[in-house]
Amino acid sequence: MGPAPEVSHATLRPWGGAEVSGREGAGGMGETRRIPVRQEDVWTLTQRNLSLWDILEFFPPDAIGPRGPKDPPPPYEVKPVTIQTDLGFSFETDIQYGTWMFRPRAPTQPGMMKWCRERGLEAGDVLVFEKLDERCYRLSLEKAGATRVG
């Protein structure tokens, strides 16, 4: 298998204005990415999924898997990432090629849609991804109007 594709931030177009904090570009532990929730995003996040387009470079390139089961596998080994949520559940997933979303799961299964629905997302909230180690991330929510720490 060949190397994973290179993901360059310069090739990514803005979706919702993700914000970088921590050691920008270093990919270090404790680095965060923040995705603001707009009114027009609430339905998509709770009924469909979250686009990772703005923060794609935050995840390892080999976490990008094929779009579907009938698509050919990529020329590298796909290695999932683990997302630890602030709701006490974790899920292991890859990122679907082309959609740039975590692999979809039923809303009752631990995954992005379950987290979005159970968190009660509203416009003005901010999704926060924190890098814990090379393949593990914490997902939390800053509610609209809450004082930001750090």
Average confidence (pLDDT) per 10 residues, the chain, 150 residues: 50 42 58 96 92 96 94 94 98 96 88 94 97 98 76
CB-CB contact of 81 with 137 (8 Å): yes
pTM flag (> 0.85): no
What tokens were used for 120?
């009660």
What tokens were used for 27?
């990919």
Q: Any bridge partners for residue 99, and if so which?
A: none
88 CB-side CA count, 13 A: 1
- Identity at 34, one-letter amino acid code: R
What domains can be seen in the chain, in order of their start residue? 15-23+31-142 (2.40.330.10)
pLDDT at 106: 84
pLDDT at 42: 95
